[in-house]
Homo-oligomer: A and B are copies of this chain.
Amino acid sequence: MSDTAVVRRFQRTVTQRIGALEDGFLARGRPLGQARVLWEIGEGVEVRALRARLGLDSGYLSRLLRALEAEGLVVVEGGGADGRVRTARLTPAGIAEREELDRRSDEAAAEVLAPLPAAQRDRLVAAMAEVERLLTASMVTVEALDPGHPAARRCVEAYVAELGRRFESGFDPARSLSAEDDELRPPAGMLLVATLHAEPVGCVAVKLHPRQSMAEIKRMWVDPSVRGLGLGRRLLAEAETRAAGHGVRTLRLETNRALAEAVALYRASGYLEVAPFSEEPYAHHWFAKRLR
C-alpha cells in the first residue's frame, strides 16, 4: 500500500473512531463553538486574545460570550488599564462545567483503549504518541523573516538566553562575533524562522560575504518544546538550499562544546571539523561543509 493510501486510511479510521466519541458526548449538547470558548478561557483571558487564539470573528465571539454569560458560566468585564479591552473569566459554575468537559474527554479517551488487551493498548498509545509528534513536526513551517520581525526577535532572544544558561561562562552577545540585524537581512544575509501554531519555535541565520563563495551559519536554535522532531536538521537543510541559491559553495560555522546536540547535528549533516577560522571567544569547534 502506498504512503498516501496509508494516510488516507488512517484519516478515515481516525475521524470515524475519534469523531464519533467527540460528538455530543464531549460537548454535552452544547454547540462546539461554545465548548471551545469555554475551554480556552483559563483564569481570565482578554477577549482579543481569545479571538486571536481561536481565529474567530469579533462579532461571532461576542455572541458566543453572551450565550455563555446568559448560562452563568462566564463573566466578561472591563476595568483594566486599557478601557477598550474586556476580559472573560469563568464563574464557579463555568469552572465546574469545564471540569466536567475534561472528565468526559478523559472518559472518551479511555473508551477508545478499553476494548483492547493490555499489550495492544500499549502499542496503540506508543503509535499515537509517534504520530502526534511527527504530525506536529509536519505542521512546522519555515520562512525567511526580517530580523526586526517580532517573531524573529523572540527567537534570537531565546537563543541568547539559552546560550547564557548553557555555556559554563555564560554568554554575552557583545563579546561574541557580530551578527547584527543588517548582516542577517538581504542582501547581506538571511534569517529563517520556524513557526508552529503561529509561535516561533526555531531559527537559523546565514551571513553572506560579498563576492565570496563562502558563508556562515549563525543563530541556530530550536525551542526545547519541539526538540527531537528533526527541526534542526530541517532548518539547516533549508539554510543550505537557500545559501546555494545565492552562489554559496562552502558553509562554515563555529559552536560551543556545551551544545552537544548541535555538534551532533552538524556532524550528521555532513559538516567536517576544521581548524579554527575565527576568533570567536565562545567557540570550541569549527565546522565547514562544501555544498554540492
Contact assessment for A8 and B138 in the assembled complex, using a CB-CB cutoff below 8 Å? no
Contact assessment for A115 and B132 in the assembled complex, using a CB-CB cutoff below 8 Å? no
Cβ of A136 within 8 Å of any chain B Cβ, yes or no, is yes
A4 and B109 in contact, given A14-B14, A132-B10 (Cβ under 8 angstroms)? yes
Contact assessment for B8 and A230 in the assembled complex, using a CB-CB cutoff below 8 Å? no
Q: Which of B119, B124, B132, B140 contacts A138 (CB 8 A)?
A: B124
A196 to chain B, nearest CB (A): 11
Contact assessment for A129 and B234 in the assembled complex, using a CB-CB cutoff below 8 Å? no
Cβ of A212 within 8 Å of any chain B Cβ, yes or no, is no
Tell me the nearest residue of chain B to A111, going by C-beta: B138
Listed stretches A15-23, A162-170, A199-207, A249-257; interface member: A15-23
A124 and B135 in contact, given A4-B109, A4-B110, A129-B6 (Cβ under 8 angstroms)? yes
With most chain B CB atoms within 10 A of its CB, the pick from A7, A16, A233, A237 is: A7
* Interface size in chain A (residues, C-beta < 8 A): 52
Contact assessment for B109 and A8 in the assembled complex, using a CB-CB cutoff below 8 Å? yes
- Give the residues from 1 to 55 in chain A that come closer than 8 angstroms, CB to CB, to chain B: 1, 3-11, 13-18, 22
Contact assessment for A137 and B120 in the assembled complex, using a CB-CB cutoff below 8 Å? yes
Contact assessment for A7 and B113 in the assembled complex, using a CB-CB cutoff below 8 Å? yes
A138 and B115 in contact, given A128-B7, A130-B123, A132-B13 (Cβ under 8 angstroms)? yes
Contact assessment for B123 and A138 in the assembled complex, using a CB-CB cutoff below 8 Å? no
- Give the residues from 127 to 159 in chain A that come closer than 8 angstroms, CB to CB, to chain B: 127-132, 134-141
Query: A residues bordering B, Cβ < 8 Å?
Result: 1, 3-11, 13-18, 22, 105-106, 109-110, 112-117, 119-121, 123-125, 127-132, 134-141, 229-230, 233-234, 237
